[in-house]
Amino acid sequence: MSKDTIRTTCPRDCYDACGMTVLVRDGAVRKVIGDRIHHVSRGALCGKCALAYNGAFIDPEQRLTTPLRRSGPKGKAVFEAISWEEALADIAARLKAIVSTRDARSILHTHYTGTVSMLAGWFPMRFFNRLGATEVDPDTVCNKAGHVVLADMFGTSLTGFDPDQLPNARTLLIWGANPSHSAPHLHEHWVRSSKARVIVVDPIAHETARTADMHLQLRPGSDAALAFGLLHVIKRSGLIDRSFIARHVEGFDAVEPAIDAASPQVTEALTGVPADLIVEAGRQFASGPALLWLGQGVQRQPRGGNAFRAAVLLSIATGHLGSPGHGFCYMNGPETRGVDITFLMAPELRRDGGSSISHIDLADALGDPERSAALFTWNNNILASSPSQSKLRAALAREDLFTVVSDLFMTDTAAYADYVLPAASFLEFDDLVLPYFHDTISAQARATAPLGQSLPNQDIFRKLAAAMGFSEPALYESDASMLQQLLAQTRFKGSFEDLKVLGTVGFGATGRVQFENLTFATPSGKIEVSSSRLKAEGHPEAPIPHADAPPAGGLLRVLSPASAWLMNSSYGNDARILRQLSEPQVYLNARELASRGIKDGDPVLLKNGTGALQLTATVSADVPDGVALVYKGRWPRTAGDAANVNVLNPGLRTDIADSSAVHGVTAELVAL
Ligand SMILES: Nc1nc2c(c(=O)[nH]1)N[C@H]1C(S)=C(S)[C@@H](COP(=O)(O)OP(=O)(O)OC[C@H]3O[C@@H](n4cnc5c(=O)[nH]c(N)nc54)[C@H](O)[C@@H]3O)O[C@H]1N2
Ligand SMILES: Nc1nc2c(c(=O)[nH]1)N[C@H]1C(S)=C(S)[C@@H](COP(=O)(O)OP(=O)(O)OC[C@H]3O[C@@H](n4cnc5c(=O)[nH]c(N)nc54)[C@H](O)[C@@H]3O)O[C@H]1N2
Ligand code: SF4
Ligand SMILES: [Mo]
C-alpha cells in the first residue's frame, strides 16, 4: 500500500484560493482537507468544498467518465458512451461543415470560471480563436459593468489594494460583497480579526454585516445616492482632499453640486439608511487610511455602473489612494504579480478580429437559427446561471443547434448536448492559480490520474484541434511549457516543481501600495471622474446620486447572491450539499410574510411576467422590507418545477456594458 500527501490549491471562483492537502492511497484520493500552512485557509476548507471534494468530485457515479453521444430527446440526458476518437471525429466533421457552408461566427461558445486555474481556464481560447467562433463575453454574466467603469476612471479595474495593507487602515468599507459566503476564510481571518473599523453597505444583514462595526442597510439599487450622502458629510466636515484632487483628478467639479444637495436627510429618504449612521460612516471613512472593497453584488443592479462610479468617489474625494492603508479593490488580476496571460489565449490565431455577444443576448441568439448553428459550452453551466432560463431551455431544445458541452458532471446544460466531453477535475492535473484577492501564486498539483477517460481541458482542445486538422503549433503547446512561461514572468525564482512543494508563495512582507506612483493609464494620466467616452455612449458624463424607486404594488425585489453551500452552480448535485440546502427557500422578513397572510414554512410561488418558481417561505430578520432573498446556483432539475431563480430573470442589463443586472429582478409572492 502506498500513501502520499499532495499539497494543492482550490481553483474555484472564490476570493480565498485555499491551500489544501490531498491524502492519496494506492493512487486514489482518500481525503481532501485544508492545508495548515496556507495563509488564508489555515487548515480548514469551507463547508461546501469539504463536502463536495470528498463527495461528488471523487465519485465515479457522479462524474462523467467517458465521452457521450446523445441517443434520446434533447434535455432528457439519454446518451451512449463512445470513444474519444469517435466523439472528436464527429464533432470536427460537424464544425467543419458549419465553417464551410456558413460562417464560423455562427458557432457560439460560452465559458467562465468553472475553474480559474490558468491553463484550464484560458488555453481553450486558442482553439476558439483559431476556429473563429463567437465568444459569449464571460464577464457579462458576472462583473463586466464594474470592470468597464473602473477601467474608464482609473485605466484599470484589475489592480486593487493588496489585502496585506489592512493593518495600516483605520477603516475597511465592504460595499456590496458578502465575504461570510463568498470568501469565508477572509471573513473569519481578515475582516473579523482586523483592527480597522468595518463598515458594510448591503441590503442584507448577512453575517459579515452583522459582525461589522456599522451596517448601512440600504434599499437595493440606492448605492449611488448613499455614496453622495457620505460625500456630503465628508465635504461638510472639511475632509475633501483638495490638493489630491487638484493634482490627480479630472472632472471632480461635475459632481460637486450633487454632493452639496445630498444632505443626510435627503439621502435617508432615498436609501432608507438613518441620517445619523450616514454622518457617522462618512466621518469614519474620511478619518484616516481606508480600504474600500467593491463587491460584485452592487454592480449587478440596473444602474450598477453608475453605483460603482459613485462608490469609488469616496476613495477619490478623500485622497485615500497611493499610500499604505489606502485603496480600493474590485479584484487583483494576474498583472499585480507581473503576469500577462494574453499568450495563453493566442489572440493572433483569430483572423477576423473576433466577435462576441453578451450573456444577456444568449437565449435570443441561440433561439434564432440565423444567428446560431452550434454551441460549445465549457467551464460554464448556462442553464443554471444565465438569464432568461425558460427561453434558453427552449433554444437548447432546437434539434438543429449542434451542441457540445464539456463538464465534470451531467449538468442541466449537458443534458441538452449532442456530445458531452468529460473533463478531469483539478485534483487530476497540474496548473497554476493566481488568486484574485491576494498577491500570491499557487500550484494546483496533480494528486491522482484523471477519473475514467476524463481529460483536462487542455488535452481536450489539443485533441479537437488535431481532429479539425489545424496546424498552428500554438494549439499543441504542452502544459509544462505554458506553466514555465507563466512562472518565468513572476518574481518567484523556482520551477513549478519547487512551487508544488511550497503550495502558495507571496512576494515580500511589505505589501504593495495600489497606484503608488499616482499615475493612471487614462488619456489624461489622472483619475477621470467625468468621462467624455461614457457621455458619447449616452451615459451621464459623471456619476449621479441615483436611487431606484422601491418596487410598487406589492412587488418584491428579488436578490439572488452567493449561497454558503454552493459555488455558483457547482456542488448542486452533491448529495450531502443537497441535504444542507434542504428544499429551495425564499427568505423574507416577518412583516412581508404577514402582510401576505403567509406563514414561515408555507409553500409559495414567486412569479413575474418572465416565470414562476416554487419555494418554501422562510422568515429571516436579515432581509429588509421589499426584498425576497433566494440564493443562486441550485441545479434546476433538483427542484420540483425544474427551475431556479434565473427563471424569473428577463435578462435585465446594467446601465453600462450589457452586463447582468440580476439583482434588479422584481416579482410577486403568492401562497400556493
Ligand atoms: N441569479 C443569479 N444568477 C447568477 C449570479 C447571481 O448572482 N444571481 N451570478 C453569476 C455569476 S457571478 C457567475 S460567475 C455565473 C457562474 O455560473 P456557472 O457557470 O454556473 O459557474 P460554476 O458553477 O463556477 O461553473 C460552471 C461549470 O464548470 C464546470 N467545471 C469546473 N471545472 C471544470 C473544468 O476543468 N473543465 C470543464 N470543462 N468544466 C469545468 C463545473 O462542473 C460547473 O458545472 O453565474 C451567474 N448567475
Ligand atoms: N459560497 C460561494 N462563494 C462564491 C460564489 C458562490 O456562488 N458561492 N460565487 C463566486 C463568484 S462567481 C463571485 S462573482 C463572487 C461574488 O461575491 P460577492 O462579491 O460577495 O457578490 P454577491 O454574492 O453576488 O453579492 C454580494 C452582496 O451584494 C448584495 N447586493 C445586492 N444588491 C445590492 C445593492 O443594490 N447594493 C448593495 N450595496 N449590495 C447589494 C447582496 O445582498 C450580497 O450580500 O463570489 C464568489 N464566491
Ligand atoms: S471555494 Fe473558496 S473557501 Fe472553499 S475551499 Fe475553495 S477557495 Fe476555499
Ligand atoms: Mo462571478
> How many residues appear in the chain?
672
Give the range of the structural domain holding residue 191, as residue numbers without chain letter. 144-330
* CB 435 within 8 Å of CB 118: no
Tell me the CATH number at 247.
3.40.228.10
Q: In angstroms, what is the span from residue 296 Cα to ligand 2's centroid?
A: 6
Q: In angstroms, what is the span from residue 199 Cα to ligand 1's centroid?
A: 29
Q: Which three cell numbers stand for residue 364?
A: 435570443
* CB 290 within 8 Å of CB 173: yes
Specify whether 218 is located in the same domain as 290. yes
Specify whether 484 is located in the same domain as 374. yes
- Of all protein residues, whose CA lies closest to atom 45 belonging to ligand 2? 182
Sole residue written with cell 464577464: 139
Ligand number, closest to the Cα atom of 570: 1
- Cα–Cα dist 634/643, whole Å: 8
Q: How many CA atoms lie within 13 A of 23 on its CB side?
A: 6
- Cα–Cα dist 343/10, whole Å: 23
Pocket test for ligand 1, best of 112, 359, 362 (most atoms within 8 A of CB): 112
For residue 616, being part of any structural domain is answered with yes
Q: In angstroms, what is the span from residue 361 Cα to ligand 1's centroid?
A: 18
Q: Which three cell numbers stand for residue 411?
A: 449538468
Q: Which three cell numbers stand for residue 32?
A: 481532501
Pocket test for ligand 3, best of 20, 21, 41 (most atoms within 8 A of CB): 41
Instruction: Starting at the earlier edge strand, list the strands of the sheet with 374-378.
Output: 79-81, 68-70, 419-422, 402-407, 374-378, 107-111, 134-137, 355-358
The environment of the single-atom ion ligand 4, i.e. residues with CB closer than 5 A, is: 142
Ligand number, closest to the Cα atom of 385: 1
| Domain count along the chain | 3
Specify whether 112 is located in the same domain as 130. yes
Specify whether 256 is located in the same domain as 310. yes
Which pLDDT score is estimated for 353?
87
Q: Quick one: which of 298, 327, 303 has its CA closest to 156?
A: 327
Q: How many CA atoms lie within 13 A of 276 on its CB side?
A: 0
Specify whether 284 is located in the same domain as 374. no
User: CA of 563: how far to CAs of 490, 501, 585, in Å?
Assistant: 34, 33, 11
For residue 252, being part of any structural domain is answered with yes
Specify whether 609 is located in the same domain as 626. yes
* CB 428 within 8 Å of CB 450: yes
User: CA of 143: how far to CAs of 305, 336, 521, 647, 659, in Å?
Assistant: 10, 19, 21, 20, 7
Ligand number, closest to the Cα atom of 62: 1
Phi, psi of 327 (to 5 degrees): 130, 170
Ligand number, closest to the Cα atom of 21: 3
Q: In angstroms, what is the span from residue 570 Cα to ligand 1's centroid?
A: 6
The DSSP secondary-structure symbol of 642 reads S
- Of all protein residues, whose CA lies closest to atom 24 belonging to ligand 1? 114
Burial bucket for residue 323 (CB in 10 Å: 0-12, 13-18, 19+): middle
- Cα–Cα dist 294/277, whole Å: 20
Which pLDDT score is estimated for 509?
63
Tell me the CATH number at 587.
2.40.40.20
Q: Is the CB–ligand 3 distance for residue 16 below 6 Å?
A: yes
Reported as a single tens digit per residue, the pLDDT across 102-126 is 999 999 999 999 999 999 999 999 9
- Cα–Cα dist 40/22, whole Å: 17
Q: Is the CB–ligand 2 distance for residue 187 below 6 Å?
A: no
The distance in angstroms from the start CA to the end CA of the chain is 57
Strands 355-358 and 214-216: unpaired
Q: Quick one: which of 277, 296, 271 has its CA closest to 176?
A: 296
- Cα–Cα dist 153/522, whole Å: 7
Strands 627-629 and 556-559: parallel
- Cα–Cα dist 420/455, whole Å: 12
Q: In angstroms, what is the span from residue 506 Cα to ligand 4's centroid?
A: 24
Specify whether 312 is located in the same domain as 356. no
Concatenate the DSSP letters of all residues of 276-332 into one string. HHHHHHHHHHHTS-EEEEE-SSTTSSTTHHHHHHHHTHHHHHTT--SSTT-EEES--
* Ligand 3 atom with minimal separation from the 46 CA: 4
Pocket test for ligand 1, best of 122, 408, 665 (most atoms within 8 A of CB): 408
Specify whether 194 is located in the same domain as 260. yes
User: CA of 68: how far to CAs of 109, 160, 433, 652, in Å?
Assistant: 19, 43, 30, 35
- Cα–Cα dist 188/18, whole Å: 13
Please, which contacts does 191-196 make with residues 24 or more away whose CB atoms are closer than 8 Å?
Answer: 194/166, 194/167, 194/169, 195/167, 196/166, 196/169, 196/170, 196/171, 196/172, 196/290, 196/291
Specify whether 151 is located in the same domain as 125. no
Specify whether 578 is located in the same domain as 598. yes
For residue 339, being part of any structural domain is answered with no
Phi, psi of 3 (to 5 degrees): -120, 145
- Of all protein residues, whose CA lies closest to atom 11 belonging to ligand 1? 142
* CB 34 within 8 Å of CB 42: yes
Residue segments in the chain with a per-residue pLDDT below the cut of 70:
1, 509-510
Q: In angstroms, what is the span from residue 326 Cα to ligand 3's centroid?
A: 27
* Ligand 2 atom with minimal separation from the 142 CA: 14
- Of all protein residues, whose CA lies closest to atom 9 belonging to ligand 1? 142
* Number of other CB atoms surrounding residue 265 within 10 Å: 11
For residue 127, being part of any structural domain is answered with yes
For residue 482, being part of any structural domain is answered with yes
For residue 190, being part of any structural domain is answered with yes
- Domain termination site, one of 299, 330, 361: 330
* Number of other CB atoms surrounding residue 493 within 10 Å: 9
Specify whether 590 is located in the same domain as 473. no
For residue 317, being part of any structural domain is answered with yes
- Of all protein residues, whose CA lies closest to atom 3 belonging to ligand 2? 182
Exposure pattern of 349-374 as b/e (b: 16+ CB <10 Å)?
A: bbeeeeeebbbbbbbbbbbeeeebbb
Reported as a single tens digit per residue, the pLDDT across 137-148 is 999 999 999 999
- Domain termination site, one of 471, 505, 539: 505
Specify whether 621 is located in the same domain as 666. yes
For residue 167, being part of any structural domain is answered with yes
Phi, psi of 117 (to 5 degrees): -65, 150
* Amino acid identity for residue 637 in this structure: R
- Of all protein residues, whose CA lies closest to atom 6 belonging to ligand 3? 10
Which pLDDT score is estimated for 511?
81
Q: Which three cell numbers stand for residue 617?
A: 417561505
Instruction: Starting at the earlier edge strand, list the strands of the sheet with 3-9.
Output: 3-9, 19-25, 28-34
Tell me the CATH number at 395.
3.40.50.740
